[in-house]
Amino acid sequence: MEMLKELGRRIQKARKVKKLTQQELADLSHVSLKHVQSCERGEKNPSFEVLRAFGKVLNLSLDSLMNLDLPEDEQSANDMRQLYLSCPPAARKALLNSARALADELKEMTQADECDQDKKAEEK
């Protein structure tokens, strides 16, 4: 039962990221509002077809929905994918360029910190 609650939390989180109401998710997924509510509360075990519909609407892979014990790095990568896909197509290039620039800057900062730590260790 705890796994169903976690699945429901993931569906709800993804729905909120997409700024959809439960009714909108229901309409886009072709399921009833009551079914969406039950799934989000972890009371209902959604079928493969329903999970697939949720995944399509929410830009989530079935793996990220069903594999509840994904390592944190993989879950974070799925979150990044969801952010990318939630942007309008015209904005995706800007998001990708910004993410690349930020990643390069973070790598440089990390390398500089490592060099500083190495110098301090040598001085001791």
Model confidence pLDDT, tens digit, residues 47-101: 999 999 999 999 888 877 777 777 778 878 877 887 888 788 999 999 999 999 9
Whether pTM exceeds 0.95: no
Given its phi and psi angles, is residue 42 left (phi above 0), alpha (psi -120 to 50 degrees) or beta?
left
Query: Which of residues 40 and 83 earns the better pLDDT score?
Result: 40
- Does residue 117 have a pLDDT over 90? no
How do the domains of the chain map onto residue ranges?
1-70, 87-124
Distance of alpha carbon 2 from alpha carbon 58, whole angstroms: 22
CATH topology of domain 1-70: 434 Repressor (Amino-terminal Domain) (1.10.260)
